[in-house]
Amino acid sequence: MDNFLQKLPSFVRIWLFEYIKKFATIQGRATRAQYWYSALCVFIVNAVLGILGIIPFVGVLFDIISFVFGLACIVPNITLTARRLHDVGLSALWIVWYILALVVITVLGLIFTGIAAGAGLPGFAYLGIGILVIGYIASLVVWLVFMVKPSNEGANKFGEPAEIKELSSFSIKAE
């Protein structure tokens, strides 16, 4: 198994270690490379499954696999994001604030759009759509700033800086 892992591209091995092996670990820190390599691997898997999902007859099977993969990625996405936030000195509670902000933006946008539709006021409908679009873009920008921010130098309240392990000694054995 270890020989097989050495033949994989380094970003895939980093993904295997940071994303899969540590799928439920919130403690510690994750570097930008660890976070974005994991995001790249998840994107590639989703893209391949999406392309295979358009194949007639068997595409439904790949759609189901894609759905299951998406569900399986929820916990690792949250925990890796928590470790990335720790790396820049922020609490994992920022994830909760981010989700709450998206909920508030969605509710406000839908309220304005619904009121406008019921009252026949297209201007308010555009306001609701504007709140949705601007709110989502603003929240995405804030999130990207957190995720691309350089790591804190040295130890912070969440531990020592994350290191990309020497990949020549990497294995997926249970600890």
Kindly report, residue by residue over 9-62, the tens digit of the pLDDT.
777 777 777 777 777 888 888 888 888 888 888 899 999 999 998 888 888 899
Would you state the pLDDT for residue 164? 64
The rounded distance, in Å, linking the Cα atoms of 76 and 65 is 17
The rounded distance, in Å, linking the Cα atoms of 63 and 22 is 26
Q: Above 80 in pLDDT, residue 156?
A: yes
pLDDT in tens, 116-146: 767 777 666 777 788 888 888 998 999 999 9
- 109 vs 75, which has greater pLDDT? 75
Would you state the pLDDT for residue 169? 46
Average pLDDT, the chain: 82
Q: Residue 25: left (phi > 0), alpha (psi -120 to 50), or beta?
A: beta
Question: Could you give the angle at which helices 122-148 and 93-119 cross, rounded to 10 degrees?
Answer: 170
Tokens of 157: 């309240």
pLDDT in tens, 162-173: 776 544 444 444
Specify the 3-state DSSP secondary structure of 153.
Answer: coil
CA of 106: how far to CAs of 57, 111, 113, in Å? 36, 8, 10
pLDDT in tens, 77-98: 999 999 999 999 898 899 998 8
The rounded distance, in Å, linking the Cα atoms of 125 and 115 is 8
Would you state the pLDDT for residue 174? 42
Would you state the pLDDT for residue 85? 92
Q: Which residues of 9-29 are buried (b: 16+ CB within 10 A; e: fewer)?
A: eebebbbbbbbebbeeeeebb
Would you state the pLDDT for residue 48? 93
